């Protein structure tokens, strides 16, 4: 019996994965500070850094303070 070792499985196409900078985001639970990821042309939420806030202004204040104190 002979096995053909020359046949190879094609490598998956490489995809560039880009994680964005922290920003104010919104979900059904409220506003939060997080980042998104873009991969294969699609963008989706990636990480959540803060708790949820009732409005975007409070989330922005949290983000500004985190940047100012380098705690992000």
Give CA angle at 59 (43, 41), nearest 5°: 5
Q: What separation in angstroms does the CA of 24 have from each of 3, 8, 13, 48, 49?
A: 56, 46, 32, 10, 10
pTM over 0.85: no
Locate the domains of the chain by residue range.
Answer: 18-68
The alpha carbons of the chain give a radius of gyration, in whole angstroms, of: 20
Predicted pLDDT of residue 2:
52
Q: What was the pLDDT predicted at 12? A: 56
**Proportion of the chain above pLDDT 90, given as a percent:** 75
């Amino acid at each position: 019996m002979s096995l053909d070792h020359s046949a190879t499985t094609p490598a998956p196409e490489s995809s560039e994965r880009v994680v964005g900078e922290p920003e104010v985001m919104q979900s059904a639970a409220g506003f939060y500070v997080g980042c998104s990821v873009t991969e294969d042309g699609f963008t989706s939420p990636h990480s959540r850094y803060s708790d949820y806030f009732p409005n975007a202004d409070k989330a922005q204040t949290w983000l500004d303070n985190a940047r100012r104190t380098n705690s992000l």
